Amino acid sequence: MTDNKEQFRPADHPNDSFILTTVVGSYPKPKWLDRARDLYEDEDADFDENAWQEAKDDGSRLITNEHERAGLDVVVDGEMRRNEMVEFFADRIEGYEFKGPVKVWGHNTFDKPSVVGDVEYDGSWLVDEYEFTASVADRPVKVPITGPYTLASWCFNEAYEDDAALANDLADLVNEEVEKLVEAGARYIQIDEPALATTPDDHAIVGDCLERIVDDIPEDVRIGLHVCYGDYFRIYPEILEFPVDEFDLELANGEYEQLDVFTEPEFTADLALGVTDVHVAEVESVEAIKENIKKGLEVVPPERLVVSPDCGLKLLPREVAYEKTAKMVEAAREVEAELDEGEIEVGRGAVADD
């Protein structure tokens, strides 16, 4: 593990301490972008491929700039071009097929794809998205990618012996995509593996996949792993063996009940800590978020701490998503200033008592 976090410190950063602020990825789409998609999908509407491309570019530009306005150190375009975290990739990978919507809960459905043959890399998935976002951003850009284990678990597997075999093949494709992203200039990649939370016993499969993904990727490229909504004690400390720089964890939603899991044995990676809850529409105060950030300092020192919301923000009203992000940045800057002044002691016990 190398220290590749410092490269993201903005030139005009106000404090000596640097707690990197970023988001997990998704962000509420402006209503007009959803309408534009409806028009694009309506054969009778006068709205062609070019118009749809223009709408997506505008959406991407808008949310990238909104992230910068909120003060984030590393931005994303809010995944404005993506529909759903599995569907988007399955649509671009040879071997997947869509057979119809299936139930998730109640009468709500999603287009769960089937893997009907060997998965193959059939042209880049995210390089265009990255290049556009980087061209309109003044800050570094992070690229979230749905991980191979989740891409394997959340589909119908018709073609492979088991999900592990499918996940391994998919990991090779993710590796190919990450290589292309790095060539295009990307320095911060986040692998999203929410499926690990539902089947924690499969952590070894995820570990094998990550080895394949980082193969031949330069060490100065920061690789994060996002896992959410699970019982972390079932995957810790085993995940410390994973070849990633940081773990992005959802902990605000459970009011840090699971924080202790990461203190014994010692957490040796960087921690990207969820410090706002994405499942409540109330915006937390700067003071409350500062307390959450200090929870992170119980696990790692400031130079190894990153803060972000618990998970993607896309289900929140847009103004709430913005306020949560802006207040999170404000809170991080205040904690940094207090660290610089020696007002906060780092480590367990020191902050836990205040």
Partner 1 sequence: MPELVATSPGLFPLPDWAKDRLSDQKGHQKHDLISGDEGKEIVETYEEARSEAIDRQRDAGLDLIGEGQLRWDDMLAHPLAVHDNVETRGIVRYYDNNNFYRDPVVTGDLTFDGDVAAELEAAVELRSTSRQHSSSSETAAAAETDSLQAVLPGPYSLADLATDEHYGDEAEFLDAVADFLVGEAEAFPDVETLFLLEPSLVENAPGDGVDERASEAIDAVADAVDAEVVAHTYWGALDEKVYAHLLDADVDAVGFDFVADQADNLYNINEYGATDDVALGLVNGQNTLMEDADAIRERVEWVDEQTPGADFGKAYLTANAGLFYLPYSEFEQKLQALADAASAQEVKA
- Applying CB under 8 A, the residues found at the interface with partner 1 are 99-109, 112, 114, 153-154, 156-158, 195, 198-199
User: 220, 185 in Cβ contact below 8 A?
Assistant: no
Strand partners, 273: 249, 307
Least Å distance, CB 316 to partner 1, is 14
Distance in Å, CB of 102 to partner 1, minimum? 6
Whether the ω angle into residue 140 lies within 30 degrees of 0, i.e. cis, is no
Least distance in angstroms from the C-beta of 279 to partner 1: 10
Q: How far is the CB of 149 from partner 1 (least distance, A)?
A: 13
Can you list the alpha helix ranges (DSSP code H) found in the chain? 31-41, 49-69, 87-90, 127-136, 148-153, 163-183, 203-214, 286-297, 318-340
Q: Which is nearer to partner 1, 120 or 158 (CB)?
A: 158
| Residue 194 or 296 having the CB closest to partner 1 | 194
Are the beta carbons of 217 and 223 closer than 8 angstroms? Answer: yes
The Cα 88–Cα 70 span in angstroms is 27
121 conformational bin, left if phi > 0, alpha if psi -120 to 50, beta if neither: beta
Give the bridge partners for 113, in sequence order.
98
CA–CA distance, 59 with 53 (Å, rounded to integer) = 10
Nearer to partner 1, 166 or 182 (CB): 166
Q: Measured from the CB atom, is 76 or 115 closer to partner 1?
A: 115
Least distance to partner 1 from the beta carbon of 39, Å?
Answer: 18
Name the minimum Å distance from CB 290 to partner 1. 28
Give whichever of 57 and 91 is closer to partner 1, judged by the CB atom: 91
Please name the helix (run of DSSP H) or strand (run of DSSP E) that holds residue 156, with its range, or none. strand 156-157
Pick the closer one to partner 1 by CB: 111 or 334.
111
- Structural tokens at position 353: 């008592």
